[in-house]
């Protein structure tokens, strides 16, 4: 296994852990502020949208690189 493959696997695992930690922070914020169900949903939507955009960007870049560009 080459170093680039190890780095790619470590990056993917790191991003997964980071995303999980972000969702834990949002959940903890909603719990401590006693936001309720609707407030928690809004927090996850608003704060999770930035993380979702980051992940979608990476997926689009991966797809474009694997297809040789458009």
Nearest to 21 by CA among 47, 1, 60: 47
Is residue 15 packed enough to be buried (19+ CB in 10 Å), middle (13-18) or exposed (0-12)? middle
Checking if the pLDDT of 69 tops 80, the result is no
Six-digit token string for 49: 């949208």
Mean pLDDT rounded to a whole number for the chain: 88
CB contact burial 53-69 (16+ within 10 A = b; e otherwise): eeeeeeeeeeeeeeeee
**Mean pLDDT, rounded, for 15-23:** 89
- DSSP per position, 3-22: HHHHHHHHHHHHHHHHHHHH
């Amino acid at each position: 296994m080459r170093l680039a493959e190890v780095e790619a696997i470590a990056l993917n695992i790191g991003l997964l852990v980071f995303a999980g930690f972000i969702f834990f922070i949002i959940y903890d914020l909603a719990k401590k502020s006693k936001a309720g169900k609707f407030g928690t949903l809004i927090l996850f939507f608003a704060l999770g949208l930035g993380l979702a955009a980051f992940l979608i960007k990476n997926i689009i870049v991966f797809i474009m690189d694997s297809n040789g560009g458009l």
